[in-house]
């Protein structure tokens, strides 16, 4: 837990699944999480049913457990499946349409949540503390999927100041074309506590599923444009 507490920035690399590379079978996502020196400090693994992965694709519900170097679970991210969810900010008047995820750190102890909020035009995600008090906003960039790199800005609640970011990094032409494995980096806001950092780290997985997870059948991103 001290590693996460003291981290200013982390690198997140999705592992290549060989079965997915040669077949249409959708496997559980796995991520190695490294510091700026390239040392692996955490590992994250998805828990979901094979049926959900094949039938629901990137829209599936899941749990992602984050392990430290001693294989102890330090945090858990939970996203429920919502059959009526939407990515359009104009149709978010009902909670059943919102994409959201809750985070526990350590498991069983609420750390905060991430939820899509209604706006006139842009797509925003609200980061809240365990009591539901809003802390930050994550803003989706205009270019997602078509660009080699995309930056999701972490903003203050008044949208006036950028205090951090989540970057989708270019993984190389062959890796981008042939696999679903993506590379990310997350820069935490100054002064963020360990629970908030767990929420923002989990937001990387959320963004990966929302915008960069490819459909096995269609071979294209299912995330919103």
Q: What is the pLDDT of residues 45-99, one digit of tens each?
A: 999 877 777 777 667 889 999 999 999 999 999 998 776 544 554 454 555 567 8
Q: What is the pLDDT of residues 87-131, one digit of tens each?
A: 554 454 555 567 899 999 999 999 999 998 877 677 899 999 999
Residues forming a β-bridge with 155: 137, 162
Q: What is the pLDDT of residue 187?
A: 98
Q: What is the pLDDT of residues 26-47, one digit of tens each?
A: 678 999 999 999 999 999 999 9
Count H helices and E strands in the chain, helices first. 5, 12
Confidence of residue 18 (pLDDT cuts 50, 70, 90): low
Decide: 124 and 117 in contact? Cβ < 8 Å: yes
Token pair for residue 130?
């365990």
Q: What is the pLDDT of residue 211?
A: 86
Q: Max CA-CA distance within the chain? A: 46
Q: What is the pLDDT of residues 123-182, one digit of tens each?
A: 899 999 999 999 999 999 987 766 678 899 999 999 989 999 999 987 654 444 444 567
């Amino acid at each position: 837990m001290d590693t996460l507490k003291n981290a200013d920035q982390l690198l997140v690399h999705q592992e290549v699944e060989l079965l997915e590379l040669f077949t249409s079978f959708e496997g559980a996502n796995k991520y190695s999480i490294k510091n700026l020196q390239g040392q692996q400090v955490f590992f994250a693994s998805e828990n979901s049913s094979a049926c959900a992965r094949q039938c629901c694709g990137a829209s599936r519900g899941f749990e992602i457990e984050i392990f430290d170097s001693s294989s102890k679970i330090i945090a858990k991210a939970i996203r429920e499946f919502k059959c009526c969810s939407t990515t359009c900010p104009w149709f978010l008047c009902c909670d059943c349409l919102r994409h959201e995820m809750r985070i526990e750190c350590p498991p069983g102890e609420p750390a905060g949540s991430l939820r899509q909020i209604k706006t006139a035009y842009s797509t925003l995600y609200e980061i809240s503390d365990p009591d539901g008090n809003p802390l930050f906003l994550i803003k989706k960039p205009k270019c997602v999927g078509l660009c080699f790199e995309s930056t999701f800005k972490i903003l203050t609640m008044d949208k006036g100041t950028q205090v951090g970011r989540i970057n989708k990094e270019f993984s190389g032409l062959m890796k981008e074309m042939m696999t679903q494995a993506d590379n990310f980096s997350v820069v935490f806001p100054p002064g963020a506590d360990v629970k908030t950092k767990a929420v923002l780290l989990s937001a990387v997985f959320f963004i990966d599923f929302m915008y960069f997870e490819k459909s096995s059948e269609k071979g294209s991103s299912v995330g919103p444009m």
